Amino acid sequence: MNKLSDVEQRRPSDESGFRSRFLAKLFMGMSPADYSRSLVTPFNLLAAAILATSLPVFYMRYTQGLATAIHADHEYPWGLLLSWGIFAGEPLFAAGFVVAAAYYLFGMKHYRVLVRLSVLGGMLGYAFAAAYLLIDLGRPWRIYYPMLVNFGPSSVLFVVAWHVGLYVTVQLLEFSPSILEWIGSRRLHRWATSITVALIIGGVILSTVHQSSLGAMYLITPGKLHPLWYSSHLPLLFFSSAIYAAMSFALLLAFVAGRYFRKTCDQEFLSHVQPLTISLGKGAALAMYVYCALKLLALAQDNHWALLSTPFGYWYLIELIGFVVVPMLLFTAGVRMEKIGLIRFSAFYAIVGIVLNRVNVNLIAYNWNLPDHWSKIIPPWSENIMILAMITLHILVFRWIMNRFPVTRELPEYKGTH
């Protein structure tokens, strides 16, 4: 009885100790008052202004209907919101599966320091893609219907919906060792690291099929999508372009971490940033050569050369030459001369090209022959505000995690466990 009472007497202090340690981690070692004062920065004030401005728009969208916030109808079901949030974003967010597969499955051990950062980028990206979808759905509370109630495995949208949900879950489990290290749960950490390889294999399968499924959705639109962008090879084109987009995104994530979160990075990560930049630049350049060849083969197979002399043909050439060939050559030059700045610029340039391609397929070249086409694809101010708010929130969440969790650093007590 005395021993039991001693244990019971110690519990409050243990709980109090855990609470104080948790709060210290949450406030990054500062008191709540000091932490609150540290939040008053120009960027945070700008972010607060953007989010505050967007609140009435989101309220209007969810209380008065989707039509009050975006230009959507039966001919144009998806506007800039999904063109940006899903179709343009998800190729970049494949960085998690590309880098994790390189390290765990292909034995490229020098990528180890970049795995968690890439997985974090992929996890947040897919989570926010789901958030964009919940904004754009007319009745978002019925999101589970196409997945569970109206079970339609023959629908590509059904496949995409399941892939997004499963992939977010897989990436969260892949990132869970970092969360558990921050919490200090050794038992769960051992379990999480033991299933990592299985998760990576599952993530690679899901992401591979998902990226191609995004292109497969447009196979049913031969009369709506402009012939220069429509191809039976769209699934392959979407998948191959996602490879170099993911590498470019991972490359820029490493730069952002080393530049803006340097205090949270250990020396091992910082020393690997430049060699990883060159390595990812090589991979991205090679993937861009493959993608460019596939684009030309698709164009030749469909025999649409004559369309290149039309206004849409000029736009197609701007996309192909200006945003595929040029960054591809810049990547090549940057890698050969080992110019880190040029490689990073090429990565950003290539990402702009991916965004342009997805917006072209999903918006500009879709229903291109309708008389009111151009008036329909220009997004209203409310849609732009929602996109800006989502980008701001994405950055804030990423920064919050980077400042706390061991993403680009290895805690001494967990060294060598992943």
Q: Say how many C-beta atoms besides its own lie within 10 A of residue 265's C-beta.
A: 21
Arithmetic mean of pLDDT, 195-216 = 85
176-182 mean pLDDT: 90
Rounded to 10°, the helix 326-337/340-359 angle is 160
Of residues 4 and 375, more confidence is placed in 375
Distance (Å, whole) CA 381 – CA 385: 6
Mean pLDDT of 263-274: 94
pLDDT at residue 3 tops 70? no
Q: What is the mean pLDDT of residues 371-390?
A: 91
**Positive or negative: CA dihedral 24, 29, 30, 36:** negative
Which pLDDT band, with edges at 50, 70 and 90, does 178 fall under? very high
User: Could you tell me which residue, 3 or 401, shows the higher pLDDT?
Assistant: 401
CA torsion through residues 244, 108, 281, 84, sign: positive
Nearest to 257 by CA among 277, 233, 240: 277
Q: Quick one: the chain helix, strand, coil %, rounded to 5?
A: 80, 0, 20
Positive or negative torsion for Cα 352, 358, 363, 366: positive
Alpha-carbon distance of 41 to 293, in angstroms, equals 47
- What class has domain 54-67+78-414? mainly alpha
- Mean confidence (pLDDT) of the chain: 89
pLDDT at 267: 94
Structure token digits, residue 62: 């969810």
Residue 7 has pLDDT above 50, yes or no: no
Which pLDDT does position 4 carry in this prediction?
47
Contacting residues for 262 by C-beta, under 8 A, at least 6 apart = 270
Over residues 35-39, the mean pLDDT reads 89
Report whether 386 contacts 57 (CB < 8 A): yes
Better pLDDT: 18 or 128: 128
Q: Which of 5-19, 157-171, 226-240, 297-311 comes out lowest in average pLDDT?
A: 5-19
- List phi, psi (to 5°) of 416: 80, 10
From 23-37, 69-83, 135-149, the region with the lowest mean pLDDT? 135-149
Q: How far apart are the first and last CA of the chain?
A: 44
Confidence class for position 8, pLDDT limits 50, 70, 90: very low
Do 327 and 349 form a contact (C-beta atoms < 8 A)?
A: yes
Higher pLDDT, 130 or 246: 246
* Mean pLDDT in residue range 334-347: 97
Q: Is residue 12 scored above 80 in pLDDT?
A: no
Instruction: Evaluate if residue 298 carries a pLDDT over 70.
Output: yes
Compute the distance between CA of residue 78 and CA of residue 152 in angstroms, rounded to an integer: 21
Give the pLDDT of residue 374. Answer: 87
Q: How far apart are CA 184 and CA 166, in angstroms?
A: 27
Query: Who wins on pLDDT, 71 or 283?
Result: 283
If one compares 49 and 146, the residue with the highest pLDDT of the two is: 49
Amino acid at 324: V
CA 141 to chain centroid: 24
What percentage of the chain has pLDDT greater than the value 90?
57
Share of the chain above pLDDT 70, in %: 94
Arithmetic mean of pLDDT, 328-345 = 97
- Give residue 228's pLDDT: 96
Least confident of 146-155, 231-240, 272-281, 341-350: 146-155
pTM, rounded to two decimals: 0.91
Alpha helices, DSSP H only, in 261-380?
267-302, 311-317, 326-337, 340-359, 373-377
Cβ proximity of 333 and 342 under 8 Å: yes
Q: Which two tokens stand for residue 178?
A: 């970092």
For residue 417, pLDDT beyond 80: no
pLDDT at 213 over 90: no
With CA atoms as reference, report the closest residue to 195 among 166, 172, 222, 223: 172
Every domain of the chain and the residues it spans: 54-67+78-414
- Among candidate residues 278, 281, 210, 246, the one with its CA nearest the CA of residue 351: 246
214-227 per-residue burial string, b: 16 or more CB within 10 A, e: under 16: bbbbbeeeeeebbb
How far, in Å, CA of 118 to CA of 110, rounded?
A: 14
The C-alpha atoms of residue 393 and residue 399 are separated, in whole angstroms, by: 10
Q: What pLDDT sits at residue 376?
A: 83
DSSP 261: S
| pLDDT for the residue 323 | 97
Q: What is the pLDDT of residue 211?
A: 87
| Higher-scoring residue by pLDDT: 14, 360 | 360
Rounding to the nearest 10 degrees, give the CA dihedral for residues 349, 353, 356, 357: -170
